[in-house]
């Protein structure tokens, strides 16, 4: 089982590296393609929108397919799309390749997660899924800075060739090591839409969209901010993204721990308030201290962003599972779409801020998203100081620490 999971995790590592490395190579891409940084940012919007829309549709369309051929075909398509991106002669060719990348990633990642749960023993399913998602975390810590450095020495196109190589290695491992796994029972598109219409689910998904939008308003253009305001080298951008990666890895574990043990209302509020203040600090430092001291503030703030932004998904997933445990797979797939809708919204809002003002404005826009998320959260959860310090104000998911103590 471990050999199989390692190769599935390697596939998510390749996908995560490609998805997140754009922040580090965006200025170089914009210069080479002769478009503005804001225009280049729409490459992130394209990927996120296509992923968000296609993920539930792909899940329904491929529901009857055995998992191994599906995973092999989707990671092979991902490798091919990276090669198309590497040789893209212009901006719109690259935009098309990003759409292909999103389609293949939307087919691979949910199928990999479901396959991990199916081949693991019941008492090891949580750890199996964690192994799959560790590929994304490692991508943020290692893959993204490495891609930025590679782009500095060999050009941004080399990063796509490198990711294609990673995908091919994952393909070889999946073909040789993954056992045959039958298609699982799948929910219809109608079932998914019915779940999405439930008010409690909508409120959780809405919070995810707004919070992630704020995070990616900054994340997408972090490299451009560092280059344009502080005139740093690509190596320094890579270091800053490494700091983000360390914070993200810590936040992933931090969020999982807190979701099971802490008051969820208070924890989510703390995350949103911290992110809003953090993003304001980024814009203030970039505007009024475009020097070494301001650079230190921005890099530290980016690390704090990684810690708190990556702590949110775990608690949001626990809340979704608690709404209706038998339909957890459906609600969690909708959460993935909400994350990518937020990514698209953030990339678009950041581009608008840069066009209308400057790159230093992205922190203010990001903070507004977090304030909006805080308002939505306050309006859609039970109010009153009586419940503020209670752990059980939001139902815990089956098997969580709260239920075990009960």
The verdict on 181 and 216 lying in the same domain is no
Quick one: what percent of the chain has pLDDT higher than 90? 54
* Global pTM value: 0.82
Residues 6+ apart with CB under 8 A from 92: none
Question: Reduced to 3 DSSP states, what percent helix, strand and coil does the chain have, rounded to the nearest 5?
Answer: 85, 0, 15
Chain segment 162-187, per-residue pLDDT in tens? 999 999 999 999 999 888 876 666 66
Does residue 152 form part of some domain?
A: yes
Burial class (CB in 10 A: 0-12, 13-18, 19+), 384: exposed
Print the domain residue range for 230.
188-398
Indicate if 244 and 151 belong to the same structural domain: no
| Residue 401 confidence class, pLDDT cut points 50, 70, 90 | very low
What CATH number is attached to the domain comprising 344?
1.20.1250.20
- How far apart are alpha carbons 376 and 367 in whole angstroms? 14
Residues 295 and 195 in one domain: yes
- Is the residue at 403 inside a domain? no
Are 152 and 218 contained in the same domain? no
Most confident of 265-269, 371-375, 379-383, 392-396: 371-375
Distance between CA atoms of residues 93 and 100, nearest Å: 11
Domain count, the chain: 2
- Tell me: the pLDDT tens digits for 302-327? 999 999 998 888 788 778 877 776 66
Instruction: Give the per-residue SS3 of 256-319.
Output: HHHHHHCCHHHHHHHHHHHHHHHHHHHHHHHHHCCCHHHHHHHHHHHHHHHHHHCCHHHHHHHH
The answer to whether residues 231 and 168 belong to one domain is no
Average pLDDT value over all residues in the chain: 85
Domain shared by 138 and 258, yes or no = no
Mean local confidence (pLDDT), 246-254: 85
Question: What span, in angstroms and rounded, lies between the C-alpha atoms of 354 and 362?
Answer: 7
Residue 174 domain-assigned (yes or no): yes
CA distances from 277 to 5, 308, 365 (A): 39, 12, 12
The residue from 186, 216, 243 where one domain ends is 186
Choosing from 186, 207, 240, the residue where a domain stops is 186
What is the 8-class DSSP label of residue 196? H
Our CA dihedral for 387, 388, 393, 397, rounded to 10 degrees, sits at: -160
- Could you give phi then psi for residue 134, rounded to 5 degrees? -65, -25
What number of CA atoms fall less than 13 Å from residue 266's CA on the CB side?
14
Is 260 found in the same domain as 327?
yes
Q: Is residue 220 located within the same domain as residue 272?
A: yes
| Sign of the C-alpha dihedral computed for residues 168, 173, 176 and 181 taken in this order | negative
The pLDDT of residue 183: 63
- Tell me how long the chain is: 406
Residues 192 and 117 grouped into a single domain: no
Model confidence over 117-155: pLDDT tens digits?
777 776 666 667 777 777 888 888 888 899 889 998 999
Q: How confident is the model at residue 389 (pLDDT cuts 50, 70, 90)?
A: very low
Q: Kindly state whether residues 173 and 320 are assigned to the same domain.
A: no
Nearest Cα to Cα of residue 305 among 214, 227, 202, 177: 214
Per-residue confidence at 328, pLDDT binned at 50, 70, 90?
A: low
406 located within any domain: no
Q: Which of 161, 186, 211 is the last residue of a domain?
A: 186
Poorest-pLDDT segment among 53-57, 182-186, 371-375: 182-186
Same domain for 207 and 173: no
Place of tokens 């393909």: 171
Instruction: Find, among 287, 318, 308, 24, the residue nearest to 148 by Cα.
Output: 24
């Amino acid at each position: 089982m471990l050999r199989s999971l390692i190769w599935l995790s390697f596939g998510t590592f390749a996908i995560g590296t490609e998805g997140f490395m754009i922040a580090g190579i965006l200025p170089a891409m914009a210069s080479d393609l002769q478009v503005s940084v804001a225009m280049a940012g729409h490459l992130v919007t394209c990927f996120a929108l296509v992923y968000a829309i296609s993920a539930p549709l792909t899940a329904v369309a491929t529901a009857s397919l055995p998992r191994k051929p599906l995973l092999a075909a989707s990671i092979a398509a991902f490798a091919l799309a990276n090669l198309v991106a590497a040789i893209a002669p212009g901006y719109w060719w690259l935009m098309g390749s990003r759409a292909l990348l999103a389609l293949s990633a939307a087919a691979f990642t949910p199928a990999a997660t479901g396959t991990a749960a199916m081949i693991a023993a019941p008492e090891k399913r949580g750890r199996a899924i964690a192994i799959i998602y560790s590929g994304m975390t490692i991508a943020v810590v290692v893959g993204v800075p490495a891609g930025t450095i590679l782009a500095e020495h060999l050009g941004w196109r080399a990063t796509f060739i490198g990711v294609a190589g990673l995908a091919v290695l994952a393909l070889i491992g999946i073909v040789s090591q993954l056992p045959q796994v039958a298609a699982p029972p799948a929910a219809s598109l109608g079932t998914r839409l019915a779940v999405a219409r439930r008010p409690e689910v909508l409120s959780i998904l809405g919070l995810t969209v707004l919070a992630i939008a704020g995070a990616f308003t900054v994340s997408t253009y972090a490299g451009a901010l560092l280059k344009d305001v502080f005139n740093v080298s690509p190596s320094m951008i890579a270091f800053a993204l490494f700091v983000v990666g360390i914070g993200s890895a810590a936040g992933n574990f931090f969020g999982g721990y807190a979701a099971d043990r802490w008051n969820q209302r208070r924890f989510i509020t703390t995350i949103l308030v911290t992110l809003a203040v953090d993003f304001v600090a980024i814009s203030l430092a970039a505007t009024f201290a475009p020097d070494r001291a301001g650079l230190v503030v921005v890099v530290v703030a980016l690390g704090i962003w990684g810690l708190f932004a990556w702590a949110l998904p775990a608690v949001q997933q626990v809340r979704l599972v608690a709404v209706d445990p038998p339909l957890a797979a459906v609600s969690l797939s909708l959460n993935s779409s909400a994350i990518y809708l937020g990514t698209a919204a953030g990339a678009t809002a950041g581009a608008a801020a840069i066009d209308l003002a400057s790159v230093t404005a992205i922190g203010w826009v990001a903070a507004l998203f977090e304030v909006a998320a805080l308002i939505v959260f306050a309006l859609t959860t039970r109010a009153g100081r009586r419940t503020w310090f209670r752990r059980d104000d939001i139902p815990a998911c089956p098997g969580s620490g709260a239920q075990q103590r009960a």
